[in-house]
Chains A and B, each alone.
Chain A
Amino acid sequence: MAQTSGLLRDALANAFRSPANLFRGNRKETFWALKDVSLEVQEGEVLGLIGRNGSGKTTLLKILSRITRPTHGWAEIHGRVGSLLEVGTGFHPELTGRENAFLSGAILGMTKQEIARKFDEIVAFAELEKFIETAVKHYSSGMYVRLAFAVAAHLEPEILLVDEVLAVGDIRFQKKCLGKMGDVARAGRTVILVSHQLNQIRRLCNRVLWIDGGAVKREGPTATTVSAYEEEMSASRDDDERAVAGIAQFLRWQLMGENRLEDHALPHEGELAVSFLVRVNQPIHSAQHGIGLYDQERHLIWGNAADSVSLDPGLHEFRYKIAGMPLRPGVYSWRVTLWDGEARIDDWECSPPMKVVTVPVTHYKDEWAGFLNIPSELKIVPVAMNVIGPSPQSRTE
């Protein structure tokens, strides 16, 4: 078919067909919250959904929860679905805790019988025995979320869809929540979990889907997918401000040795071998070299220095053998420097950052886990207390 001056002819034709269109500006573009997303979730799987805000994760959950209808495509769900997209769904401030528990339970999908049967358990989980007959508007925010979560946690659907509400309340209660979720997962329920708390994802999920811009960016086992996501989130900005004094310049770095997963990913604890390539243009005498390893928040994890570094022009490799670097999984950055007294020769924030892909063995919450991923064993032993008063070798003497 001949393509004759497509644009102008069409434009004219349109103008004649509906003159008003000339005056109407551009029609609003359609925004696809999700496009061409296909996935399969097996029974008993715990699937994590990660991605930036606005990437479409919640929309996917909403479609699976039948809250929003898809524009195109279909989904097939085998089993009863419970959706936890919010804490306190259906709660009304004027009703008592008991009344709200029944109401919320009914809205979430439990039958009256079921709620009545589990009522005592729910109240015990929420630790609200004394206040269950008080109107919820008198509850503190902590009590409110405890009750809300307690009701939701006793939902027993075959499939559970959770959006960021995995752990609410104070730390003690959060632990309970995570524990309960762990039970749910172990009981063989299928769970789809959306969370920004990557630690929760790592702890509970066996498979992770990374959604970006409405499409599946990556899919795979938890450890690698989450690490890839973390790396992208902390992608170093283009930094071409390194001192190009011309004397010397670090070019590349990579991990050496058998311990590495890829050139820039470390999967095990144990000896770490890393090398930095530098091009020297002019001879260097007695320079100082520094090295540092930083985490995401620019904390210095490890650092060292060397004096009297002399280099002839040409390419050199700085090869480090570090006895061990038992780090929490995450993204870390190397930094290497060369100084000549007060003059900076080069100071390079190494790119790409180093991914540490290990299995976390410390505290389940990011902010209490610390840097070091060192396993530990706790034994609590009763001790007989029969010493009263200062010991013979008292410090005060």
Chain B
Amino acid sequence: MASVTSKPAVAGPIAQRGTSPLVIRIEPPRGWFNLRLKELWDYRELLYFFVWRDVKIRYKQTAIGVLWVILQPLLTMLVFTLFFGKLAKLPSLGLPYQVFYFAAVVPWMYFSYSLVNATNIVVENQRVITKVFFPRLILPISAVLSGLVDFSIGFVVLIIFTLSYGIRPGPTVFLLPLFLLLAILTALGVGLWLSALNALYRDVKYVTPFLTQFWMLASPVAYPSSMVPERYRWIYGLNPMAGVIDGFRWGLTGRGQAPSSVLIASTAMVLLLVFGGLIFFNRMEGSVADRV
């Protein structure tokens, strides 16, 4: 039982950080829905710094640095083209294999990187967490956002690549940001759960690579979703990343699965996942500093 009393006089509500007298009340965690989102906004600069740090460090001391951002998806795409395309001869919606895979690989790599990053981020920062206060939610959020830097570069390459194959994106291209947003939310939703769980049970970090592998196979990255039998299409569509990958391909090339009502269902699921993740992470946050 620890308590610190103060001068009884001033006890106003929590005010804007830094501008007027600030009163903070420290209490045992209470309630499931106390998300303290306002606090997150106050610490937005720190969020920027964490993302900046992650990006800076990733490519320091590498021989070709930023080129990896382009090479990774390119090489993946080449391998897919060779094995899934040329050898296995999977259908590709009439698109050249390279475009078919590249359009999927760029958003997919953002997603799988974000999952892995989110899983590890709390544990990686255990030193900082046990020494300074900041809303711990900043960490998984920064994990999910830092992949966007790589994604933007990959995306530019994707556009150039697609154009070079003579494929001109139509107006559907303007819907791509929405699909990206869905990818971000999915990464955040799952990432919150993974990062909280990993802080409690270190086994989770071994689960994540397996999870992303399986998830990739369950998403239309290496094959079009039209390959899935009609009657299972709706279950398949519940996978939000199916909507994202299909959407990317469709938005870029006009081919493949257009957004359908299943997308609404999977988006709703994602929002639930995010909400649940926020609550779970917050519940767990209080004991992280002791357990990490």
Bound Cα distance from A98 to B132, whole angstroms:
20
Bound Cα distance from A108 to B4, whole angstroms:
23
Interface residues of A in 52-99 (CB under 8 A from B): 59-60, 62-81, 83, 85-86, 89-90, 92, 94-95, 99
Query: Cβ of A83: which chain B residues have Cβ within 8 Å of it?
Result: 131-133
**Are A64 and B132 interface neighbours, CB within 8 A?**
no
> Taking A69-B28, A70-B3, A94-B60 as contacts, is the C-beta distance between A107 and B23 under 8 angstroms?
no
**Are B21 and A79 interface neighbours, CB within 8 A?**
yes
Bound Cα distance from A34 to B3, whole angstroms:
10
Asked if A316 is an interface residue, CB under 8 A from chain B, the answer is no
Q: Bits for B52-82, please: 1 = Cβ < 8 Å to A, else 0.
A: 0100110011000000000000000000000
Bound Cα distance from A160 to B3, whole angstroms:
18
Asked if B229 is an interface residue, CB under 8 A from chain A, the answer is no
Asked if B18 is an interface residue, CB under 8 A from chain A, the answer is yes
**Are A35 and B1 interface neighbours, CB within 8 A?**
yes
Report the nearest B residue to A95, measured CB to CB: B56
Asked if A29 is an interface residue, CB under 8 A from chain B, the answer is no
Which size class do A's interface residues fall under? 35 or more
**Are A94 and B61 interface neighbours, CB within 8 A?**
yes
Bound Cα distance from A68 to B289, whole angstroms:
6
Query: Cβ of B287: which chain A residues have Cβ within 8 Å of it?
Result: 69
Query: Cβ of A80: which chain B residues have Cβ within 8 Å of it?
Result: 17-18, 22
**Are B23 and A77 interface neighbours, CB within 8 A?**
yes
**Are A34 and B2 interface neighbours, CB within 8 A?**
yes
Report the nearest A residue to B9, measured CB to CB: A78
Among A32, A41, A89, the residue within 8 A (CB) of B131 is A89
Asked if B46 is an interface residue, CB under 8 A from chain A, the answer is yes
> Taking A70-B28, A99-B56, A102-B49 as contacts, is the C-beta distance between A75 and B131 under 8 angstroms?
no
Bound Cα distance from A103 to B5, whole angstroms:
33
Report the nearest A residue to B125, measured CB to CB: A90
Bound Cα distance from A59 to B289, whole angstroms:
11
Q: Bits for B36-61, please: 1 = Cβ < 8 Å to A, else 0.
A: 00000000011001000100110011
Query: Cβ of A77: which chain B residues have Cβ within 8 Å of it?
Result: 4, 6, 23-26
Asked if A242 is an interface residue, CB under 8 A from chain B, the answer is no
**Are B129 and A75 interface neighbours, CB within 8 A?**
no
Instruction: State the Cβ distance, B139 to closest chain A Cβ, in Å.
Output: 12
Bound Cα distance from A150 to B28, whole angstroms:
34
**Are B60 and A37 interface neighbours, CB within 8 A?**
no
Asked if A112 is an interface residue, CB under 8 A from chain B, the answer is yes
**Are A111 and B1 interface neighbours, CB within 8 A?**
no
**Are A64 and B4 interface neighbours, CB within 8 A?**
yes
Asked if B29 is an interface residue, CB under 8 A from chain A, the answer is yes
**Are B60 and A66 interface neighbours, CB within 8 A?**
no
Report the nearest A residue to B52, measured CB to CB: A103
Q: Bits for B214-242, please: 1 = Cβ < 8 Å to A, else 0.
A: 00000000000000000000000000000
Q: List 13 A-B pairs, Cβ < 8 Å.
A: A41-B6, A63-B2, A67-B130, A67-B132, A70-B2, A72-B2, A75-B2, A76-B6, A77-B26, A95-B57, A106-B46, A106-B49, A112-B45
Closest 10 CB pairs between A and B? A73-B3, A75-B4, A75-B26, A66-B133, A72-B1, A69-B286, A106-B49, A76-B6, A34-B2, A70-B2
- A38-B4, A75-B27 known; 12 new pairs, CB 8 Å cut-off, are A62-B289, A64-B4, A66-B133, A68-B289, A69-B26, A72-B2, A77-B26, A80-B22, A85-B130, A107-B134, A111-B18, A135-B60
